[in-house]
Structure 1
Amino acid sequence: MQYFSADDVAARLPHADCIEVMKTAMMKLSSGETEQMLRQILPLGAGNMFGIMAGTLGEQEAFGSKLISVSPERKDKSRPSHQGVVVLFDKETLAPYCLADAGQITAIRTACASAMATDLLARRESSILTILGTGEQAHHHALAISKIRWLDEIRIWGRTPDKARALANAIQSETRIPTTAEERVENAARDADIICTVTGAFDPILTADMVAPGTHLNIVGSSFDGPREIDDALVSGARFFADSKPSVAAQGSEYRHALASGVIREDHMLGEIGEVALGTLAGRTSDADITIYKSLGHIVQDIAAAAHIQAKSKG
C-alpha cells in the first residue's frame, strides 16, 4: 500500500489540476455513474466531530472511504482542523492500495470544487473576490479561484482583525494580487463579484442586503444541519445549486432553514453543479443573477483526488 503524507498530497495535487479533477468527479456524480452513502457524522462533544464517507467513482473505477476528525475550536491551532485518511481499494482485487492524508486533500479539493463552481456560475468579467473567514480554507480558496478568474482585488474578513491582516499579507505575497483586510462584513462584500464564506459561524454573517446583483457565492463553512452563514432572504433571492442534491437536502443548513421557514420550496434547489458542467442544467441566466453553490463536500471528490495523487506517483 502506498501512503501519501500531507506534503505528498500538496506536491501532487496543485490547484489547477484539482479544479479539473473536481469537474470530472462532479459530472460523474450527476450523471449517475457513482455510488455513495450519505455522510455520517458522529458528535464528539465540545464542537468536535467524526465523519465517515464512502463511495465509488464508478463501476470500473476506484472506490474507498474517508475517515476524518474535525476540531474547529481546538486550542492548539498548529494542528489542522481536519485530520484523517482517505483510503482507496482496488476494483479487481478489492484490496486497499492507497492511503492519503485526508486533511490536506480536504483543504485543496474543497477550494478547488468552489473554483470549479465559480468558473461555471460567476460572470466572466468577475474581478473582485471576497473571502469571509481566515482559516486554511480561506487561504486555499484565494489560491484556487485566482486560477480561474483574472482578479484585480481580494478582500478578507475575519472575526479577528489581526488574523485577517496576516492572511491578506500572505495571499498578496503568494498571488501578487492586491489583498486587503476589512473590519466589517458589509464593507468586504460591497460590490464584490465573488464571495466565499468559509467561517465557523453558527448564525448568518452575510445577509441579502449586503450582496449586489450579479454576485456569485460559494457557501462552504457549514457542513452539517445547524450552523448557517447566510440568511434566508439571500437563499431565496438566488439561483441555488448543490454539490449533491440528496446531501444538501439532508444536511445543507442554509437551504433547510429557508425551506422550514417557508421562504422557499423544495424546487428552489435547481440541481447539482455537475449538471451545469454537463450542460444539462442552466447556470447563470443573466448578469443580474445572484448564484449560490452550496458545498458540503462529497466522497467522490476525495476519491478522485486520491486517485489523481496515486496516478501521479507513477510518473
Structure 2
Amino acid sequence: MSVRIISREDVQKHLSMGACIDLLRPAMVSLARGETLQLPRQILKMDAGHMFGVMPGAMGGTAEFGAKIISVYPENFAKGLQSHQGPVVLFDPETGAMVAMLHAGEITGIRTAAASAVATDALARKNASRLAVLGYGEQAEAHVKAMKEVRDITSVTVWGRSAERCRAFADNIQKHTGIECLPHDSVKSAVRDADIICTTTSAYEPVLMGEDVAPGTHLNVVGSSHAGPAEIDNSLVAKAEFFADHTPFVLAQGAEFLRAKEAGLVDDSHILAEIGEVLDGKHPGRTSDTEITIYKSLGHVVQDLASGWYLYTKSKEQGFGTEAAF
C-alpha cells in the first residue's frame, strides 16, 4: 500500500482561497442536512495554553472519510511557525485503505478563512466594504484574503496587543493587496466604521463589546475553538442574529454563546440556523440592513475532508505530492 504525502508547499500552491470557498459551500450544506458523519472533536488541554485535538468524520456513509490530528501552539506565529500542526489523513471509502496525508496546518489556515468568507457572502450586506480585523496572526492575514473574494473591500483596520506587530501587519497587507490598512491602538476605534469584523485573537476574555459594534455589521467570530476563551462579550451575543457553523458543536463548545447562555441572556433558540441552512434556503439569513449578524466558527472536519479530497484527487491528476510505501 502506498500513501500520497501532500506538503505545505503543495497545499499553498494548489488550494486557492477561491477554490476552497467553492468547496465549502456544498460541504456546509451537506453538514446542515445531516448527510455527513462526525463525532465531537476531542481536545486535550495541556500546559501553557497548548492543545492536541482529533477530529474524525466522513462526507457520508459510503463517501470519503478521515480525520485531522493536530496540535495547537498559539505562540508559534511569533516564531515563524504555524500554530496548527499535524496531518489530515484520508481513507479510501471502497477499500478502507489510508491513501493520503496532507499538511493540516496549511489546510486549516485556508479553510478557516474560506468558511468565514462563505458565511460573509451569505450574511453581510451586499455593499459591505470596510473590514476590521482583530488580531494579526496567520488567520488575520488569511481572513483579509478571504473577505476580498466575496466583497469589494476598500479599507482594512487592524487591532492587536502589540503596536509594533500591528503596524507590521498593516504594512504587509497594504503592500500585498494595495488596500489601505491602518493599525489602531484600541478595539473601539478599529471597528467604529466597519461593515465586517473578523475576530481572530487568542484572547481568553472578551476584547469586543456590544456597544462597540454598529447596526448592520457582520461578524466572523473565529479565534476561540473550544469552551473557555471568548472574544466577544455577552451583550454582543444577545443583541445579534446568531448563526453557527454546526449547532451541536456550538452548544457544546462555542464559548461566547455558552457564556451568554450561562448569564441568562440567551437560550438555545438564539442560534437561528447553521450557515448551511442559510445556503440551502432553509433560513433567510440577514433580513434587514440594520441587523448585526454573527457567524460563530469552530471549524469542522467536513471542511478539512472536502479540501483534502480535492487536493488528493488533483494531485493524482497533476502529479504533485510524494508516494510513500506504508
2:324 is matched with: none
SS in 1 for 2:149: coil
1:66 is matched with: 68
CA distance in 2, matches of 1:282, 1:228: 27
CA distance in 1, matches of 2:81, 2:124: 34
**TM-score with structure 2 setting the length:** 0.95
Q: Deviations over 1:38-95 (max 9, x none)?
A: 0000112111110000001113321000000001135962221110000010000000
AA matched with 1:198: T
Instruction: Tell me if 1:30 matches 2:63.
Output: no
**Offset at residue 217 of structure 1 (A):** 0.1
SS in 1 for 2:197: strand
AA matched with 2:99: Y
Q: Deviations over 1:194-221 (max 9, x none)?
A: 0000000011100011000000000000
2:10 is matched with: 8
2:236 is matched with: 234
2:283 to 272, 281, 284: 281
Contact 1:86–1:100 (Cα < 8 Å) also in 2: yes
**Offset at residue 4 of structure 1 (A):** 0.7
- Which runs of 5 or more structure 1 residues have no equivalent in the other structure? none
2:110 to 104, 108, 111: 108
2:210 is matched with: 208
SS in 1 for 2:86: strand
CA distance in 1, matches of 2:55, 2:266: 29
SS in 2 for 1:73: helix
AA matched with 1:71: Y
Instruction: Tell me if 1:244 matches 2:255.
Output: no
Instruction: Tell me if 1:55 matches 2:57.
Output: yes
CA distance in 2, matches of 1:141, 1:22: 15
**TM-score with structure 1 setting the length:** 0.98
1:140 to 136, 139, 142: 142
Summarize the alignment of residues 97-176 of structure 1 with structure 2, pairs less than 5 Å apart: 97-176=99-178
CA distance in 2, matches of 1:280, 1:302: 24
Contact 1:50–1:70 (Cα < 8 Å) also in 2: yes
Q: Deviations over 1:224-260 (max 9, x none)?
A: 1001100000000000000010110000000000001
Q: Cα RMSD over matched residues?
A: 1.0
SS in 2 for 1:214: coil
Larger mean Cα displacement after TM superposition, 84-93 or 54-63: 54-63
CA distance in 1, matches of 2:238, 2:154: 29
AA matched with 2:312: Q
Contact 1:86–1:302 (Cα < 8 Å) also in 2: yes
1:95 is matched with: 97
Instruction: Tell me if 1:188 matches 2:190.
Output: yes
Contact 2:37–2:57 (Cα < 8 Å) also in 1: yes
CA distance in 2, matches of 1:163, 1:66: 30
**Offset at residue 155 of structure 1 (A):** 0.8
Contact 2:77–2:83 (Cα < 8 Å) also in 1: no
Contact 2:206–2:231 (Cα < 8 Å) also in 1: yes
Contact 1:47–1:73 (Cα < 8 Å) also in 2: no
Larger mean Cα displacement after TM superposition, 72-81 or 17-26: 72-81
SS in 2 for 1:154: strand
Contact 1:82–1:103 (Cα < 8 Å) also in 2: yes
- Which runs of 5 or more structure 2 residues have no equivalent in the other structure? 319-326
Q: Deviations over 1:264-294 (max 9, x none)?
A: 1110011200000111112001000100000
Contact 2:38–2:56 (Cα < 8 Å) also in 1: yes
CA distance in 1, matches of 2:35, 2:8: 29
SS in 1 for 2:75: coil
CA distance in 1, matches of 2:276, 2:185: 35
2:181 is matched with: 179
1:82 is matched with: 84
CA distance in 2, matches of 1:47, 1:151: 34
SS in 2 for 1:25: helix
Distance 1:76 1:164, change over 3 A: closer
Runs of 4+ that moved beyond 3 A: 73-76
Contact 2:77–2:138 (Cα < 8 Å) also in 1: no
1:266 is matched with: 268
AA matched with 1:167: F
CA distance in 1, matches of 2:58, 2:168: 39
Aligned pairs, number: 315
